[in-house]
Structure formats: structure tokens, C-alpha cells
Amino acid sequence: MVTSLSRYLDDIRNNLRLDVADENEVINELQSHIEDEFQEMRDAGLSEEEAAASCIRFFGSAALVARQIYETHSQGTWKQALLASLPHMLFALLFTLNWWQGVGWLVITLGVVLAMALYGWLHGRPVWLFPWRGYYFMPVLLAGILLLYLPAGWSWVAIIIYLPLVAVLLWSVTVKTVKRDWLYSALMTLPVPIVIGWFLAAGKEGEFLKVNLEYIGYFAPGIGLSFLALAATTIAFIRLRQRWLRGVVLLLSGFLTLIMVAFYSEGRISLQLFLGLTLIMLIVLLSPAVVDRRIRKNRQTSG
């Protein structure tokens, strides 16, 4: 195949953002159609360059073709959507039924979530995997909270060591997810600003970043409802076809769920804190797009 057509197929592949198996199948089928069209042009007496240019005009721009293919193949099944929403539903049950007070239930829930995330990672990284992977950060967050209860002086030393390790973990997981589609990375990290919001709402007065368990018990119904909202968002995300609609759903869900957190906190989330949480949400949801842009730019440069 001539260079321009190969580059055209590469451009389509770079814009597809599908599962690897689906992507290879689609590209192979498209390549077959392009080769047939190219041969017809050649048989009509056109040169290779003219035939290649005619093929590209016939099929349309690479971005348009990729978008049409994405919308045809990206929609997940209801089974995949429900499976993707399960980790949020588990945490909703954990708080709605007050199981969070039992360490055993909390450990079991985290164990199930981490095991499912590992299973999905080892079995082709299906579309339902990414919300499960988002809970990789839960043990990391709990470890950070426990560091605050170390003796004075030691906690800050531990945190100084802890934060760079967390940054490396976040970067590693985000980069690996972005390679599929940065929107999936945003879906994965969507619970982060919500968890931070509840953490601040349940904080002890006058004690920086320390949690009052009585407040967690009081806010438990609201916490459960916020996780149910995340589950509904995940289902909608998996079932939608258009990428732009998926992005809109993530942003709206994050903002509306933060409003829910502020409402149920009964004044413990001030306007300044709410605006700060909104900023965190935007950073968490949109930073994968920046990472994705950087990766693609480096790939094009090296290419």
C-alpha cells in the first residue's frame, strides 16, 4: 500500500480509542475496503498517487471516519454497564446499611473491588474495568489518613515520603488508562473529588484532616446516595455512543454530586470549600486529556 494510504490508516487508528481487539478488526476490514477501492482506481487508469488521493477523498477525513467507527462500536452492553457500576453500588450499600462500621465488611468490600480490578486487568482490560480500577486509590487514601494519627512530627515526615509515592502511582495508572481513552481515565477518577468532599464534611473541628466518625454515621445516607449517583453516571457513560456526550455526563455528574455533598453536609462545606472541590474535580477529570495530548504529541514527534 502506498505511503499516503498507510498514513491515512494510521491517522484513523490513532483517533479510534477502541479496545485493541475491536480496533485491529475494524482496521483490517477498513484496509481491505481501501485496497479494493484503490485497485479499482488503478484499473481505471489512475496513477498510484492519484488513486490514493481519490480513495482518501472517497472515504473522508481520518477524524470523521474514526468518529463514525467509534460511535458504531463503542457502546457497551447493559451487562457491561451494570458490571462497571457495581463497585459504586457496593460502596452505596456499605454506607446505606451502615456496614462501614464493621471493619470486616469494609475489608471484604475493598478485597472484592481490588480482586475484580486485577481480574479485569489480566483479562483484556474490558470496558467495565475502569470504575473498579478507580478504587485502587482507596487503600492509598486510607493509608494517608492513618499517617495523620502518628505522633506529632512523625506524621509530617511520613506524609513527605507518602505524597511523592502517591503521585507516581497516580501518574502510572493514569498513563496506562489514557492509552485506551482519556475519558475512561476521567471515569476512573470521578469518585476522587466526591470522597474528598465527604472527608472534609466529616472532619473534626479544629483538627486538620482528621475525621469524626459520628459525622460519617450521620452523613451515611447522603454518602450512599452519592455513590448511587456515581453508579448511574457509569451506566450512562457505558451506554452512550458519542464521546462528547460522555464528557458532558462526567462533568455534570461531578458537579451535581458535589452539590449533593454540600447539601447533605448541612453547612460544613462552605462556598470556598465547594469552589475548591469544583476546581479539584475539573483538574481530576481534565488532566487525563492533557496527558493524552502530550503522549500523542510525543508519538507523532517520534514517528
CA 185 to chain centre: 3
CA 10 to chain centre: 25
> Model pTM?
0.81
| First-to-last C-alpha distance (Å) of the chain | 18
For every one of its 303 residues, what pLDDT tens digit does the chain have, with 9 covering 90 and above?
567 788 888 888 877 877 777 788 888 888 888 888 888 888 888 888 888 888 888 888 888 888 888 888 888 899 999 999 999 999 999 898 888 887 788 788 878 888 887 888 777 778 888 888 877 766 666 666 666 566 666 656 666 666 666 667 667 777 777 777 889 889 988 998 898 888 888 876 655 556 777 888 889 999 999 999 999 999 999 999 888 999 999 999 999 999 999 998 888 888 888 999 999 899 888 888 888 888 777 766 665
Residue of 229, 282, 280, 231 lying closest to 256 (CA atoms): 229
CA 299 to chain centre: 22
Backbone φ and ψ of 59, nearest 5°: -85, -25
The full set of domain ranges for the chain reads 3-72, 76-302
Alpha-carbon distance of 143 to 301, in angstroms, equals 40
